[in-house]
Amino acid sequence: MKMYYILRFMLLGIIFCLNISLNYSVESFASLTCATPNQRIDINALIQKWNEDSVVLNDKVSTYATYKGTKTKQTYRLDNERPTADKFAKFRIQSGAETYGDVLIKPGTNFGKRKIRNAFVTSVRDCKIVTLKSCKTHPQFIIYHSIEMCSFVVKVALILLACLTKQSWGWSYGKDKVRGVNIGSWLVLEKWMTPKPFEGLPDSVNDEYKLCQHLGKAGALQTLRAHWDTWVTEADFASFKSAGLNHVRLPIGYWALDIKNGEPWVAGSWDYVVKAAGWAKKYGLQLMVDLHGAPGSQNGNDHSGKSGPIGFYYSDENLQRATNVIGKIAKWANAPEWRDTVSIVQLLNEPVLWGNDYNYRLTRLKQYIRMAYDEVRKYNDIIVVAVHDAFIDPSNWYYLRDDSHYYWIMLDMHLYQVFGDQWGKMTCQQHYSHPCTYHEKLRESNAKLWTVVGEWSLALPNELQCNDQKYFAQQQIGSYEVATGYFFWAHNNQQGWKHWSFNHSYKEGWIRPSSTNTAQCGVNWAGRKWATECDFKGNDLSSAKVRGEDCGGKCAATQSCTHFTWTDWTQDGQGPGTCWMKKGNISPNDAIISSQPNIVCGYL
């Protein structure tokens, strides 16, 4: 902490020097540190940790300014404007009756330390957005000078340079796509994935709790260490990086950090959490630590550590123990060694609410979320907090965005097409196109809270003989990247089931994490949902069906109606994009910029 304030004092000195070096070509200078605002900030939200204070909107903030070559200290006032669906929240900078400009908070925008030599606004009619880049601490500001004030602020700009802040990880959630994989059945055993630790044991031993109970502390530790040492190694993390992944989701059980007398669990798994964090750091991967198993079991499944009755919600002790574990994770992740790497903590995996106690369980779950979230923020003010949707409509969780108490919240959905009788009634083609049905819900959810599909796979019901796994993977990835991204389940399995293994699927060429934002599951037009197939992965689009009467006059006049349009893809910050249908490989060079995002001229 002492070093922090020394560095901060040095930075203010640098800012002062920079101010002089600008030769007053910029008339307004703000000595503000990078803020940690609420994601999707709105009129009721707070700007967190601004100059190490919690500044409520409309409070006064002291800044330094230069005006016509004279350095003065002024007080600016932040007045907010309610955001709309197509506009970020706007905060107008004022000094007395004179308006100097507007601040827009936009998730995912970086700004930095380079010198600013000339006026940002180049003309009275063309006021530009100012984005200062290069600071890797994940700030969230862009500055925009309103058109009506351009004549006054042609040479005025707010410079937000002070990027020394506790927020140090460099991933821009909401902008950069999460492309990740789960480390399954490593620190929380799942017998169906890794049967070897269970070999020679009775069939009734079907989870980690019973394994520890049956073998005793010494025997269980020996078995588990053999598994921990071999199931995941550094080579796996190296392969994740080379495959194009950027995130790893690591499920753990509460017993990694909390074992009370009488419980059969064995200690030692936390050492491997630390190992995983080290490997992630070495290969430039972000790590999500996921509380997969809670005291009493939140879902009664083996992947909670103990199958059987669901007891988590019915004991204050259970909620408090889980909260304490989350706090320990957050505190550990806040250490300088891990702050750049451990960027997400998930409060609870797949809590089950359905049944006669639905309302009670939901109430208790929300109580736990508040408890655990507060515990996280006691120790860590930058880590993203992930909340599972509990298999209910995501709108149930939008309060986490609207309540200014919360910030950096991520919503986790798990989307499989294998569990349940309904999936066996669908054809292969229906399965391939089904991910498109998630498209709009994911888009809507992601507009409220960063939304990831934390688990998905290529598995389908056994009775179906669906062989186009590459297309199925592309359809899912294209849909999930409408939101913040995804984590495949899982990295591997001992049964040789390739559809559940990222390693196998990547080797087969089914999954290719893309570095280009794409959209495959298209747009609504003329009352129909149209599919797009423009993913730049080499698909042959020659079989796409085109009917001129469906296209409309504007579309019919262009290339006999042979292109699709979507609203997600951009190139060099421009967009939306239009992809022309072409036989053979597709590349970004085959796309053009379109100002008509609602024109859709074909269907698959």
Q: Which of these is catalytic: 375, 455, 481, 533?
A: 455
- pLDDT tens digits, 575-602: 333 333 333 333 333 333 333 333 333 3
Q: pTM for the whole thing?
A: 0.66
Instruction: Say whether pLDDT at 284 is over 50.
Output: yes
Q: Is 486 helix (H, G, I), strand (E, B) or coil?
A: strand
Largest pairwise CA distance in the chain = 83
Instruction: Say whether pLDDT at 20 is over 70.
Output: no
**Residue 457, token pair as written in the block:** 């796979």
- pLDDT tens digits, 533-542: 333 233 333 3
| Residue linked to tokens 């806040």 | 334
- pLDDT tens digits, 226-281: 999 999 999 999 999 999 999 999 999 999 999 999 999 999 999 999 999 999 99
DSSP one-letter code for 90: E
d(CA 242, CA 82): 44
d(CA 220, CA 227): 11
Instruction: For the beta carbon of residue 587, count every other beta carbon within 10 angstroms.
Output: 12
**Residue 361, token pair as written in the block:** 């369980």
Is residue 481 among the annotated active site residues?
A: no
| Residue linked to tokens 């969230």 | 140
Give phi and psi for 65, each to the nearest 5: -145, 150
Whether the CB-CB separation of 485 and 247 falls below 8 Å is answered with: yes
| Residue linked to tokens 């899982």 | 490
Is residue 98 among the annotated active site residues?
A: no
The residue among 298 and 573 whose pLDDT is bigger is 298
- pLDDT tens digits, 28-44: 222 222 233 222 222 22
| Across 521-538, average pLDDT | 33
**Residue 34, token pair as written in the block:** 């990078």
Residue 170's pLDDT band, with cuts at 50, 70 and 90, is low
Tell me the angle at which helices 316-333 and 358-379 cross, rounded to the nearest 10 degrees: 30
d(CA 25, CA 23): 5
The residue among 200 and 13 whose pLDDT is bigger is 200
What's residue 452's pLDDT? 98
Residue 456's pLDDT band, with cuts at 50, 70 and 90, is very high
* Residue 104 β-bridge partners: 90, 142
Cβ within 8 Å of residue 378, ≥6 positions away: 327, 330
The residue among 365 and 516 whose pLDDT is bigger is 365
Cβ within 8 Å of residue 30, ≥6 positions away: 63, 64, 65, 76, 158, 159, 160
Distances (CA, A) of 161 to 15, 132, 138, 419, 427: 8, 8, 13, 51, 56
Give the end-to-end CA distance of the chain in Å, rounded to a whole number. 59
Give phi and psi for 392, each to the nearest 5: -120, 170
Mean pLDDT of the chain: 68
Residue 514's pLDDT band, with cuts at 50, 70 and 90, is low
| Across 509-517, average pLDDT | 70
- pLDDT tens digits, 323-337: 999 999 999 999 989
What's residue 336's pLDDT? 87
d(CA 414, CA 348): 13
The residue among 227 and 71 whose pLDDT is bigger is 227
Instruction: For the beta carbon of residue 76, count every other beta carbon within 10 angstroms.
Output: 21
Q: Which of these is catalytic: 350, 375, 481, 533?
A: 350
How open is the CA angle 253-256-258, to the nearest 5 degrees? 100
The residue among 311 and 435 whose pLDDT is bigger is 311
| Across 184-200, average pLDDT | 98
Burial class (CB in 10 A: 0-12, 13-18, 19+), 237: buried
| Across 548-568, average pLDDT | 34
Comparing C-alpha atoms, which of 432, 436, 444 is closest to residue 531? 436
DSSP one-letter code for 208: H
d(CA 425, CA 536): 32
What's residue 402's pLDDT? 82
- pLDDT tens digits, 77-97: 333 333 333 333 333 333 333
Cβ within 8 Å of residue 420, ≥6 positions away: none
| Across 502-517, average pLDDT | 81
Whether the CB-CB separation of 76 and 94 falls below 8 Å is answered with: yes
What's residue 3's pLDDT? 53
Cβ-count burial 256-269 (b if 16+ within 10 Å, e if not):
bbbeeeeebbbeeb
What's residue 268's pLDDT? 98
| Across 272-292, average pLDDT | 97
What domains does the chain contain, in order, with CATH numbers?
2-162 (no CATH), 178-508 (3.20.20.80), 524-593 (no CATH)
The residue among 597 and 318 whose pLDDT is bigger is 318
Type of residue numbered 111: F
d(CA 132, CA 161): 8
| Residue linked to tokens 């798994």 | 269
**Residue 544, token pair as written in the block:** 């796409």
**Residue 528, token pair as written in the block:** 């129909």
**Residue 399, token pair as written in the block:** 């309060």
Instruction: For the beta carbon of residue 376, count every other beta carbon within 10 angstroms.
Output: 24
d(CA 434, CA 453): 15
Q: Where are the alpha helices (DSSP H) in 232-315?
A: 234-242, 270-282
- pLDDT tens digits, 93-150: 333 333 333 333 332 323 222 222 222 222 222 222 233 232 233 233 333 333 333 2
Type of residue numbered 127: C
Comparing C-alpha atoms, which of 288, 284, 220 is closest to residue 484? 288
